[in-house]
Structure 1
Amino acid sequence: MYKMDFYFTDRQYNMLGIASTERGQFRMAGEIEAQSTTASTVALTGNIYFAKGDLDDAIAMVVGDGGNYILYQDDRGIGHFMTIQNTQVDNTGCSINFQADDAGDDLKNEIVGEYAANKAMTFAQYFSTFCADSGWEIGLNEIPANTRTLEFTSEQSSYDRMLEVANDFGVSLYYTFTIEGMTVTNRYLNVVNELGSTTGITLRQGTDISQIVSETSTANLHTSIKAYGATPDGASHPINLAGYKWTDSTGQFALGSDGVLRDTIAIRTWSRLRSNTNPTPESSHLQMVKTYESTTQATLLQSALADLKQYNHPAVNYTVAMVRVPSELSKGDVVNVEDEAQNLYLSATVLEVDKCYSMPSSSTLTLGDFKIEHDQTSAQIKQAAKSAEDAVSKATTAFSYAATVDEKADNAQTIATDAATTAENAKDTAAAAQTMANTAQTTANTAQDTATTAAQSANTAQTLAKANRTFIKSADEPDTTDLPVNAVWLQPATTDADGNTVAASAKTWSGAAWQDTHIESSLIAQNIIGKNITGLTFGNANGTFSIDENGNIAGGVITGSTFNTATTDNSYMTQQGKMTPNGLGFTTTYKNVTGSDVQLEEASVDWAGPRLKTTYADGTSETAGLGTTGYAGANVYAWSQAANGDITGEIYLSGNGLTILHNSQFVTLTNDQLVQMSNSGKVLWSGALYPNASTVIQPSTPINDCLNGWVLVWSGFTDGAAQDYNFNFTFIPKAYVNAFSGKGVSAVLTNQTALIASKYVYVTNTDITGNDNNRNAYVLRQVIAW
């Protein structure tokens, strides 16, 4: 595959995008560059493929407002300039098919009227007459002095008119361009006596050729021509060759007195009188009547003779599927073809070249003496037929679309009807469900009311029962005679004969026996208010807890309680040589919290604000504080203090910055340094630039406002786009900028194979400027605060 880039521009030559035969955002595939000896132009057709997200960009590049340009350089180094004339967008298949031509709309869409020259004119004079304001000019001209007096009796495009002029002069045309950058500066129509050359190139089956298909046609074969030319001024009939005297030096062609030009050799093969008894007949010609624009018998004869030489034998064309097309091969060239399997050895003219760069094996050549034309219908009728065909196609498409829409409408109506039925059924179901829900809700409300009433009655009964319960506190069993049911016997803790403590207990009288019971804390509390409980152990579902004679609680969890003691201390204390009033201090103490090493915690408000002191079981302690007073100028002051009174750490935050005491050393960060630290890591600029000398990049934060400087982030650049690989980093210290502002910096870049490239930039406190030598496969992607 030959890598080819196709550049797309608008009609002002503004670059819109690049399609490549290799990978890239837009892929060119299936393209055919078509050249033919029967056409003076080069045509290009193909498909542009793209990702779904690039649809809008692809349409802008290929379709645009219509008439966009394609510029490319072929494998011979020849520049081509194409005008896109037709496009078809397939947004589902993510492709756009296009057809383009190098003659463009300036010649093909410009119509010229009937014209009759009043004198013999050169080709250049006819060109000026029919293409004066087309933007084209005569390039190579091999017949500058040749003249013809021509007449044209119908309207034509400028392109078709110049083809007819070329045919009358017996020459061939082709188009070339001068391209500077992305702009076409000159468009040339070139005039040559004969296209191509004898190249000496030999194409061999199996090496250069994958397939040869031959086609033979006798549709246009004839052995004589009766020729007519133009009608002279004042005459009523066109000129012919009757009475013109001419003798062929080879003896093959003869001009009769009747004005018919005959081939005396070809007739022997193609006469209808040929038979085994008459193998070489000399009469009964295959005769054609042809009209030319010639105004003299001499030029009329030459035109007829050229045609008779071309059509006095069958036309044989060879369609050759190529493995590849040699880059130096062009239309009109004469090449040699060898196919040993068919015993085919021939020398033929390249009539057509259909070249595919993305897949060379899709290229074909048409070889022969002249191109077989299967359809002799006039160009006007062809165009009319094509227009009718297009109209029928569009009508068919519209009818198909209408039928599809109608079918979809029917389907939509059916779906809508079904949906309406379903909705009506759902409505009935919902109404029934709502009725059931209302009934259920009424039942639930009644049940709730009943339950509420029952709960209220139960609570009332429970309250009355609790209020009417009898409590007996006694070490001995109470007398149960006439004792009411649910009476409670509270038995204090006792000591047995062995000196063991028997835990206190509670029992409830069932009317027949004492039963162990759990007594609500509220009921117990009612009986212990104002009394001291010492040495009691209470049984509960999760274990036991006890209070000893010293007031220590074990086995319990206390929540939701606050114990406060407060003291006022109006004394002064010295801290770092500064006298500060303690103010109001208070201390809250929690003792013997089981399961923790912490034995004492104090919280107080003193000279430095809130303070928390923690004392551990091993006797060590530490204190931490936070205040808004302290050292002069400090807005916020925090500190920590060991048990021996040493200040182990301090932080001062003031209008001048932040000061930290660590290991007896003070470290100060200014406000500017704090801002610079907060800027670190921020992306200050992003894009994709080489950059060149005219490019000035201004990061959002000057380098002096960064802690250390800038980091330049580079990445790879191929196929006209930045790539997320081959990242490199260049560090720019702000000390360098302060010392050498605006001086050049060289950045050395590498990739995974260690190939080295370089960039050169100029850096100031606020700007980064590139260099015109920065033209390699890397671009600047980001500038980051460092």
Structure 2
Amino acid sequence: MILYFAKHPTFDLIGTASTSQTDSIYFSDNGGQEGEYQSVAGGYRSYGATVYFRPDQSAHVKEMTAPGNYILYKDRNGDSAWLTILTCEHDPLSGYDTITAEDASMDLINETVDAYSAPKAMTIADYINLFVTDSGFEIGVNEIPDLARTLSWESEETTALARILSVATQFYAELNFRFEVSGIAVIKKYIDIRKSLGRDRREELTVDAQINSIVTNTDVSDLYTSVYAIGATPEGSDSAITLKGYNWTDPDGRYVLLADGSLRDPVANQTWSRLVDRTALTSGFINRIKTYEAKTQATLLNSALDGLKKSNHPAVTYTVDIAILPNDIQVGDTVHLRDEKEGLFLSARVLELTYSYSTETGTATLGDYLIESSEIDPQYRALAQELAKQNKGKDGTDAVVLSVSSVNGNMFKNTGISTILTVSISVGGSILDTAEKMHAVFGAKAYLQWQVKNVGELEFTDVSLTDTRLSDEGFLFTVGVADVNNKSTFKCELYY
């Protein structure tokens, strides 16, 4: 790998360094000093390296690594990475420079923004454009263009980067910094707004193969089944708002808001009631008083409900020791973890990723764990075993037929479009109509790929595997008015 050093602000090439230690100027980890870091929370890329040189090259390398200059390189996925050098420790006696760089750059890190209160509900693009003014960054992909919220920040002297990350958090979005590069010059700087970074890689990591171990950590120290929420104090009032007197009924019937403002979970209380007498489980709630910054009862309820849902059960986390990290894994991707001996099956997102180009090794921090069912219907296990024994092509018994049907027809008048497209797979005389059944027969890496072609388009376009219109891994596809432009053709394919 080669690092290209370019001068600020002209992008003139000053010099290069490579991972080959036979070159006169090279970079390495030097005990952990070289590596690229990315996270879902930040979205931007950080990089640090130790650059080695001969005594007669000291002045030249010092010019190359001067803070404010740029580093360009191709990352392990072949994409262009462009970063601004933020710090440099020049040690001519030892013959090396230690540098740090980030792709959010001084344009957003050094700029500070003031307190701000939106005069009305604004979109995420409105907020970000407001806080990146004159930085050269512009909105690229925006997956939530219509969602609007009224936000405010009281703190002052906050960096522009911290502010736009706060915006993303309050819109439940994730950001990606992207650059359009020509030669060694940056042509465009984009901030992509995503509902969720990454995708399901269909990658299965198994204990005793790609994983050394999975340690399960269970904690009930923060568990509660009832919450009394306190919000902000309105201007001109002497007391903070609560949920007392607020009228709300849970549409799912699980959570109950009492007249005194307490929000309860009777279902969780069936398991965690403090009472010794297990026949009287309508009381004995584990109560918690929680303070939020909400300024209305409606937003206070949402905050209290979110907190209760997260804390009405034991907090379970997992420590995963990964032996082999897949080469193409990216921040935000979902992987599947398997410990057959323990009967533990999980999915997890890559929340943080560190990669060393000099050693070609990486480490990942996983989170957002979900327990996956391993209880596969015995008839589908038997079907999978039977298909494995069959000879390919014999009497067509191994033929696979995928069918798509619409629950509400396929012709609609004017804009009255509302239907769900459903998938069924015929194989070996059986019908597979759920993702669980598909994986039982075709393996964990099997997936459905939907595609769409609108009027005037010559080719089909893939629908993202994480598209919110898809359910049960693509076996259900909800189609509405916004999804059809005059006439649209949908198709679905099975990959395994």
TM range, normalised to the smaller chain? 0.5 to 0.7
CA distance in 2, matches of 1:332, 1:93: 39
CA distance in 2, matches of 1:28, 1:220: 46
Instruction: Tell me what 1:652 maps to.
Output: none
Instruction: Tell me what 2:255 maps to.
Output: 253
CA distance in 1, matches of 2:286, 2:298: 23
SS of 2:141's equivalent? strand
Aligned positions, number: 361
Q: Is the 8 A contact 1:320 1:365 kept in 2?
A: no
Tell me the CA shift for residue 316 of structure 1.
0.8
Instruction: Tell me what 1:302 maps to.
Output: 302
Instruction: Tell me what 1:60 maps to.
Output: 63
* Inter-CA distance 267–136: structure 2 relative to 1 (3 Å threshold): farther
Is 1:178 equivalent to 2:177 in the alignment? no
User: Equivalent of 1:21, from 19, 40, 46?
Assistant: 19
- Structure 1: gaps of 5 or more residues: 371-786
Letter paired with 2:306 = A
Q: Is the 8 A contact 1:270 1:286 kept in 2?
A: no
Is 1:116 equivalent to 2:117 in the alignment? yes
Instruction: Tell me what 2:165 maps to.
Output: 163
Tell me the CA shift for residue 92 of structure 1.
4.4
If the length of structure 2 is used for normalisation, what is the TM-score? 0.64
CA distance in 1, matches of 2:196, 2:206: 26
CA distance in 2, matches of 1:268, 1:92: 69
* Inter-CA distance 185–157: structure 2 relative to 1 (3 Å threshold): same
Instruction: Tell me what 2:351 maps to.
Output: 351
User: Equivalent of 1:7, from 4, 24, 32?
Assistant: 4
* Inter-CA distance 40–224: structure 2 relative to 1 (3 Å threshold): farther
Tell me the CA shift for residue 106 of structure 1.
1.5
What pairs with 1:516-665 in structure 2 (closer than 5 Å)? Answer: none
SS of 2:63's equivalent? helix
Tell me the CA shift for residue 230 of structure 1.
6.0
* Inter-CA distance 21–205: structure 2 relative to 1 (3 Å threshold): farther
Letter paired with 2:167 = V
Which of the pair is proportionally richer in helix?
1
Q: Is the 8 A contact 2:216 2:316 kept in 1?
A: no
* Inter-CA distance 238–128: structure 2 relative to 1 (3 Å threshold): farther
Tell me the CA shift for residue 131 of structure 1.
1.8
What pairs with 1:687-726 in structure 2 (closer than 5 Å)? Answer: none
SS of 1:332's equivalent? coil
What pairs with 1:136-535 in structure 2 (closer than 5 Å)? Answer: 136-155=137-156, 156-210=158-212, 212=214, 221-227=223-229, 239-268=241-270, 273=274, 283-285=284-286, 287-292=288-293, 296-312=296-312, 313-327=314-328, 329-340=329-340, 344-361=344-361, 363-369=362-368
Deviations 1:713-739 (A, max 9, x none): xxxxxxxxxxxxxxxxxxxxxxxxxxx
* Inter-CA distance 340–248: structure 2 relative to 1 (3 Å threshold): same
Q: Is the 8 A contact 2:266 2:282 kept in 1?
A: no
Tell me the CA shift for residue 257 of structure 1.
3.1
User: Equivalent of 2:49, from 40, 46, 49?
Assistant: 46
CA distance in 1, matches of 2:26, 2:222: 43
Letter paired with 2:75 = D
Deviations 1:43-88 (A, max 9, x none): 22232233344333222222x2x22222222222222222222233
CA distance in 2, matches of 1:109, 1:196: 28
* Inter-CA distance 285–343: structure 2 relative to 1 (3 Å threshold): same
* Inter-CA distance 268–38: structure 2 relative to 1 (3 Å threshold): farther
* Inter-CA distance 104–29: structure 2 relative to 1 (3 Å threshold): same
* Inter-CA distance 316–209: structure 2 relative to 1 (3 Å threshold): same
Q: Is the 8 A contact 1:226 1:261 kept in 2?
A: yes
CA distance in 1, matches of 2:159, 2:152: 15
CA distance in 2, matches of 1:230, 1:304: 13
CA RMSD of aligned residues (A): 3.2
Instruction: Tell me what 1:719 maps to.
Output: none
SS of 1:133's equivalent? coil
Instruction: Tell me what 2:100 maps to.
Output: 99
* Higher RCO, 1 vs 2 (CA within 8 Å, ≥6 residues apart): 2
* Inter-CA distance 113–71: structure 2 relative to 1 (3 Å threshold): same
Instruction: Tell me what 2:468 maps to.
Output: none
Tell me the CA shift for residue 182 of structure 1.
0.7
Tell me the CA shift for residue 180 of structure 1.
1.3
CA distance in 2, matches of 1:280, 1:46: 60
Larger Rg over CA atoms: 1
Q: Is the 8 A contact 1:268 1:279 kept in 2?
A: no
* Inter-CA distance 72–191: structure 2 relative to 1 (3 Å threshold): same
* Inter-CA distance 299–89: structure 2 relative to 1 (3 Å threshold): same
* Inter-CA distance 6–325: structure 2 relative to 1 (3 Å threshold): farther
Give % identity. Answer: 37
Instruction: Tell me what 1:72 maps to.
Output: 73
CA distance in 2, matches of 1:270, 1:90: 60
Letter paired with 1:11 = H
* Inter-CA distance 256–341: structure 2 relative to 1 (3 Å threshold): same
Q: Is the 8 A contact 2:292 2:300 kept in 1?
A: no
CA distance in 1, matches of 2:280, 2:87: 55
Deviations 1:368-403 (A, max 9, x none): 227xxxxxxxxxxxxxxxxxxxxxxxxxxxxxxxxx
